[in-house]
Amino acid sequence: MYRIDFNKLRFLICDDNPHMRRILRTLLHSFGAREVYEAEDGATALEMYTHYVPDIVITDWSMPIFDGLELAQMIRQPESNANPYAPIIMLTAHSEKRRVTVARDAGVTEFLAKPISAKGLYQRILNVVANPRPFIKTKTYFGPDRRRNTSNTYIGPERRIGGEMEVMQQPSLLDKARSAI
């Protein structure tokens, strides 16, 4: 059985609703987190993201100025000086399946529909900590692998094509981001 040392994790939560921020803060502190930063809109969250370099971002979708979807897209910039790989958990009252697809295509790591529960939040955090997915970069997408299973039987029009060309090692972008603080 795995447990998370929450006191070693740094969270950024972004929600325009102060009550939901309080709920989130309460849950994270109860899990054991000490470092929880809060933003009430996407623009502030992006600034805080660059400044504090959080390990995990939890964001609402519907917010003024720019929303959680745009925040995810701005974090997932492969050439960014900030860490483009941080797990993003979208916590939202949107409850339609098509929203999950849109969030996934923006680079969101996990989707959690409100009403929030302690169990649901814990499971999403455990998943991003224990089971990180590789990142995929295409002409139109940069983010966690959108495939949750590894079946090779898919032959639809969106299948990935092309043989392996080369493997190169690069210094960690996370190290680069953190050294810039």
Partner 1 sequence: MAKEKPGAVEIKTFATHHVITQPNPLRGVLRRIPPDIDHDDPVARAEQALADLSGEFKQWMTIEADRLSAAHATVLRHGFSHETREELFRAAHDIKGDAATFGFPSAGAAAESLCRIIEHAPDLDQVPAELITHHINAIQAIVRERTKLDTAVMASALSRQLRGIADEFLVKVNHDRPEHLEAILAPSIAPAE
Within residues 100-119, the interface with partner 1 by CB under 8 A covers 100, 113-119
Which among 36-44, 68-76, 149-157, 158-166 is the span making contact with partner 1, rule CB under 8 A?
158-166
Distances (CA, A) of 177 to 43, 109, 123, 137: 19, 20, 27, 19
In sequence order, the β-bridge partners of residue 38 are 13
| Binding residues for partner 1 restricted to 61-90, rule: CB under 8 A | 62, 64, 85
Q: Does 165 bind partner 1 (CB under 8 A)?
A: yes
Question: Which positions from 114 to 153 touch partner 1 by CB under 8 A, shown as an x/- string?
Answer: xxxxxxxxx-----xxx-x-xxxxx------x--------
How far is the C-alpha of 12 from the C-alpha of 52, rounded, in Å?
A: 8
| Binding residues for partner 1 restricted to 13-32, rule: CB under 8 A | 16-17, 19-20, 22-23, 26-27, 29-32
What radius of gyration, in Å, describes the C-alpha atoms of the chain? Answer: 17
Q: What is the DSSP letter of 48?
A: H
Residue 14: which of 47, 147, 181, 141 has the closest Cα? 47
By beta-carbon proximity to partner 1, the closer residue of 106 and 143 is 143
Cis-peptide, bond into residue 144, ω within 30° of zero: no
By beta-carbon proximity to partner 1, the closer residue of 47 and 65 is 65
Q: Does 174 bind partner 1 (CB under 8 A)?
A: yes
